[in-house]
């Protein structure tokens, strides 16, 4: 299973537009993708659900772990990490 740790850089965190962009890219991937907020009691959520992503309440400067497994997962993880890390 591949994973990327990313510090969210967007001023609004992983909400609204950044979350929508993230989920749109994740939906194109053939594998399951999970997102987990570091130092949170919340369980990992589906990277393909905008409601689940927004419920994590990830704010600017917080770190998430994006995980995926399967063929092509490294490329997908790189793209999702770039989206989450873009200011």
Q: How far apart are the first and last CA of the chain?
A: 27
Provide the 3-class DSSP secondary structure of residue 63: strand
In the structure encoding, which two tokens stand for residue 79, read together? 């793209």
Neighbouring CB atoms inside 10 A of 40's CB total 14
15 is catalytic: yes
Active-site residue identified among 15, 33, 37, 84: 15
Which positions are catalytic? 15
């Amino acid at each position: 299973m591949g994973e990327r740790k990313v510090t969210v850089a967007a001023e609004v965190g992983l909400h609204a537009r950044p979350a929508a962009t993230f989920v749109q890219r994740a939906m194109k991937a053939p594998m399951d993708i999970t997102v987990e907020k570091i130092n949170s009691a919340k369980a990992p959520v589906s990277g393909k659900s905008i409601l689940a992503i927004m419920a994590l309440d990830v704010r600017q400067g917080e770190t998430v772990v994006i995980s995926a497994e399967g063929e092509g997962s490294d490329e997908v993880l790189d793209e999702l990490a770039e989206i989450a890390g873009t200011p």
